[in-house]
Amino acid sequence: MRKHIVAGNWKMNLLAQEAETLSNAIVAYIKQNQIEENTEVILAPPAIYLKELAEATEPFAKLNIAAQNCHQAASGAFTGELSAPMLSNIGVDYVIIGHSERRLYFQESNEVLRQKILSALSNDLQPIFCCGEDEAIRDQDQHEDFIAQQLKESLFDLEASEIAQCVIAYEPIWAIGTGKTASSEQAQKMHHFIRSLIAKQYGNDLANSMTILYGGSCKPSNAKELFSQPDVDGGLIGGASLSADQFIPIIESF
């Protein structure tokens, strides 16, 4: 059975007291409620809060911490960056790699993301690899080719044992903050396509065991429908992860 994941990407949000209040509410929920055997909750706070949250959540097997990014080098003169060994050393479990905002604002290429994935894996971090197309690519009906290229250039030189440690998050960039909405059927179609690419490269068994998350405007009102799709294994949640009142109902959608 594939692992279900609800991951909250806080992005560059929340002051220290706000972060503490939110994380305490989620920890309290995990303490008081039985999470399904194959379901996991991940919090991806700003880097300044990583160590504190990693220590606070360490007792809970169903609650883990992700960094929002890492540098591809293990160390060096890269002012302002964090390396995979640093993240692993303080108890971080996952790292988000290739988020659409990193690709857009920091011009991260598929090759740079490939290097980051290798660094993460070599330091016992599980990558959450993001892929997705913008509105122009979707309108030109080139989205499948575009996603295939992202996967090929960043993931598909990995060994089967390595890619099995990765989680994939599909981001329909064209439906985030544009007023357009990706239907559950559209999400399922793309998740199925991504899984078929993995199957072609690595075989059906590995493809059917990989977790693929939906990263597009998931909220309490649509989470259950999205997560009921056969190839949607959870969500990489943005805005709704900043409120316990919204994030916890998404967890309960499973």
pLDDT per residue as tens digits for the range 69-97: 999 999 999 999 999 999 999 999 999 99
Closest CA to 233 of 188, 172, 174: 188
Q: Which of 4, 71, 171, 191 is catalytic?
A: 171
Catalytic residue flag (residue 71): no
Closest CA to 154 of 140, 169, 176, 137: 169
Q: Which of 4, 40, 71, 99 is catalytic?
A: 99
Three-class DSSP category at 221: helix
Catalytic residue flag (residue 162): no
pLDDT tens-digit profile, the chain (254 residues): 899 999 999 999 999 999 999 999 999 999 999 888 899 999 999 999 999 999 999 999 999 999 999 999 999 999 999 999 999 999 999 999 999 999 999 999 999 999 999 999 999 999 999 999 999 999 999 999 999 999 999 999 999 999 999 999 999 998 887 767 789 999 999 999 999 999 999 999 999 999 999 998 899 999 999 999 999 999 999 999 999 999 999 999 98
CA dist., res. 167 & res. 212, Å (int): 6
Q: What is the pTM (predicted TM-score) of this model?
A: 0.97
- Which domains, from first to last, does the chain contain? 4-251 (3.20.20.70)
pLDDT per residue as tens digits for the range 134-161: 999 999 999 999 999 999 999 999 999 9
Question: Residues 20-49, buried b or exposed e (16+ Cβ, 10 A)?
Answer: eebbeebbebbeeeebeeebbbbbbbbbeb
Using an 8 Å Cβ cutoff, are 97 and 71 in contact? no
Token pair for 82: 């964090």
